[in-house]
């Protein structure tokens, strides 16, 4: 007993020692490793094969220079990353993030999470992540195009529909995927649709991919509520962020009869007690690429709070859909005090370890990102499936597939948590479920 706990503690300490300064990566590994002791007790051969140790070490890490010129001709140099974390279940799969905060530690935490998330979907995809410390904010379309072309001119040699298939993440949407695909197509002389996902449906993308992460989170929360005899209908909700994930989470919540009273961006929070007007948010963010503060200028009943804490606004359902570590322990306690009954993570690792502990202790239904936001990458896998068969499915059929996948994820997480003596704990359920799927393949492949 104590031996296994000591072994896991050693693995965590080794990761911290060998990856200095990468605090988000340490956090992601610790959060998973801490839940795996019961797995090693039940399946000692995973310890013998050093599966946890191997899963914590990325298979490959690529770092490259991305030089580009802005509209005035000035040269800029950014740093590009792609970490192929694990390919036991399929080609590397995971998004690209363009944001000034991107560094190797951030990419590794995201890649590590992606391994488990992708396994949980049940689709044949490995885990990866990439990006650059490029800040697209305030850049013209031409500048973004030149950046994407330079980025792909180096990255293309590491990609392929059977090798590594990137998609979007923060700062990378349909526009960037278009420029990236165009450059890949040009320099490889191949129309290889399955090399990127999140493409526009008019040239090889899947319907519902854009909506999938947001819809998926809401489907997951719906399942968590159902297990407690509750529904989404009539609930007051708060959704942080106002990007792709937040927008479609709000859309689905409203379609199911909930009222979303607040959303945000990295500058501030909008509180609209009558219900957030999604058309306004979409126009500000998707068309004008502006800031959410503009919302309050158009809707006088709404309050805008610069640098406000969205989690202090009373709600029954909270969906963190912005970024990592946006919901800390004090915020979790504020949610609990205000009667919040469910938290579903649309972002990757948005809740701090102290926040997670507080939510679980208070009995809040908590859906960790690895499970709750897996609908995006699951639909990417559906896009790959359509590309491989040169087919295009209808919106209704694709959404139905997404809905079934999210229900399966919830059921499997639930059953796994029960099997490992932590009923209702989706942290335990998702970590162990993802681990077991990857571990079984890794053992089969031998020491590679």
Rounded Cα gap, residues 268 and 212, in angstroms: 25
Q: Residues in contact with ligand GLU, total (CB under 6 A)?
A: 10
**Is there binding between residue 211 and ligand GLU (CB under 6 A)?**
no
Q: Which stretch binds ligand GLU (CB under 6 A): 249-257, 275-283, 374-382, 432-440?
A: 374-382
Distance CA 63, CA 363 (A): 42
Nearer CB in complex with ligand GLU: 376/429: 376
The active-site residue, picked from 129, 210, 252, 285, is 129
Smallest separation, CB 93 to ligand GLU (Å): 5
Which x/- pattern over 296-335 shows residues binding ligand GLU (rule: CB under 6 A)?
----------------------------------------
Place of tokens 């009943």: 301
Q: Residue 193 interacts with ligand GLU (CB under 6 A)?
A: no
95 binds ligand GLU (CB under 6 A): yes
Per CB under 6 A, 243 contacts ligand GLU: no
**Is the CB of 94 or the CB of 429 nearer to ligand GLU?**
94
- d(C-alpha 324, C-alpha 301), whole Å: 30
Q: Is 94 in the site for ligand GLU (CB under 6 A)?
A: yes
User: Could you write out the DSSP letters of every residue in 7-76?
Assistant: HHHHHHHHHHHHSTT-HHHHHHHHHHHTT-HHHHHH-THHHHTTHHHHHTS-SEEEEEEEEEE-TTS-EE
Q: How far apart are CA 190 and CA 194, in angstroms?
A: 11
- Sole binder of ligand GLU in the list 26, 82, 93, 139 (CB under 6 A): 93
Q: How far apart are CA 318 and CA 239, in angstroms?
A: 6
Catalytic, 185? Answer no
Nearest to residue 346, comparing CAs of 258, 417, 263, 425?
A: 263
The span from the CA of 200 to the CA of 348, in Å, is 24
Among 380, 386, 387, 416, binds ligand GLU (CB under 6 A): 380
Query: Exactly one of 19, 86, 280, 348 binds ligand GLU (CB under 6 A); which one?
Result: 348
164-167 vs 259-265, strand pairing mode: unpaired
- Choosing from 180, 276, 377, 402, the residue that interacts with ligand GLU (CB under 6 A) is 377
Give the number of C-alpha atoms closer than 13 A to the C-alpha of residue 114, restricted to the C-beta side: 35
Residues annotated as part of the active site: 129
Binding site for ligand GLU (CB under 6 A): 93-95, 167, 169, 197, 348, 376-377, 380
């Amino acid at each position: 007993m104590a031996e296994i706990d000591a072994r896991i503690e050693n693995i965590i300490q080794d990761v911290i020692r060998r990856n200095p300064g990468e605090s988000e990566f340490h956090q992601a590994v610790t959060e998973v490793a801490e839940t795996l002791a019961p797995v090693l007790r039940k399946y000692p051969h995973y310890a013998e094969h050093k599966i946890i140790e191997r899963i914590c070490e990325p298979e490959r890490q690529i770092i490259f220079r991305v030089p580009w010129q802005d509209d005035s001709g000035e040269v800029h140099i950014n740093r590009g990353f792609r970490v192929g974390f694990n390919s036991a279940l399929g080609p590397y799969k995971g998004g690209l993030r363009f944001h000034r905060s991107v560094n190797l530690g951030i990419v590794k935490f995201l890649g590590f999470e992606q391994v488990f998330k992708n396994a949980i979907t049940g689709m044949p995809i490995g885990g990866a992540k990439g990006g650059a410390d490029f800040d697209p904010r305030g850049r013209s379309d031409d500048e973004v195009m030149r950046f994407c072309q330079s980025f792909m001119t180096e990255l293309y040699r590491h990609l392929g529909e059977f090798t590594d298939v990137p998609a979007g993440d923060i700062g990378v949407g349909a526009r960037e995927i278009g420029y990236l695909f165009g450059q890949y197509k040009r320099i490889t002389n191949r129309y290889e649709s399955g090399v990127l996902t999140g493409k526009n449906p008019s040239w090889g993308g899947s319907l519902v991919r854009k909506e999938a992460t947001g819809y998926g989170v809401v489907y997951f929360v719906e399942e968590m509520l159902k297990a407690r005899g509750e529904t989404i209908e009539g609930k007051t909700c708060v959704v942080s962020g106002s990007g792709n994930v937040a927008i479609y989470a709000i859309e689905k919540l409203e379609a199911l009869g909930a009222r979303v009273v607040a959303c945000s961006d990295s500058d501030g929070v909008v509180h609209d007690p009558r219900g957030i007007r999604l058309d306004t948010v979409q126009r500000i963010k998707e068309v004008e690429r502006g800031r959410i503060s503009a919302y309050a200028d158009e809707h006088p009943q709404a309050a805008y709070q610069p640098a406000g804490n969205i989690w202090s606004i009373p709600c029954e359902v909270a969906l963190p859909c912005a970024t990592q570590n946006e919901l800390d322990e004090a915020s979790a306690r504020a949610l609990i005090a205000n009667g919040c009954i469910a938290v579903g993570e649309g972002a990757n690792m948005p809740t701090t370890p102290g926040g997670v502990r507080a939510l679980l202790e208070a009995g809040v239904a908590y859906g960790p990102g690895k499970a709750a936001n897996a609908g995006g990458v699951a639909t990417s896998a559906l896009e790959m499936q359509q590309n491989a068969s040169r087919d295009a499915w209808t919106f209704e059929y694709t959404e139905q597939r997404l809905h079934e996948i999210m229900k399966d994820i919830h059921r499997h997480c639930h059953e796994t948590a029960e099997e490992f003596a932590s009923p209702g704990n989706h942290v335990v359920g998702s970590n162990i479920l993802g681990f077991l799927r990857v571990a079984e393949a890794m053992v089969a492949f031998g020491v590679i």
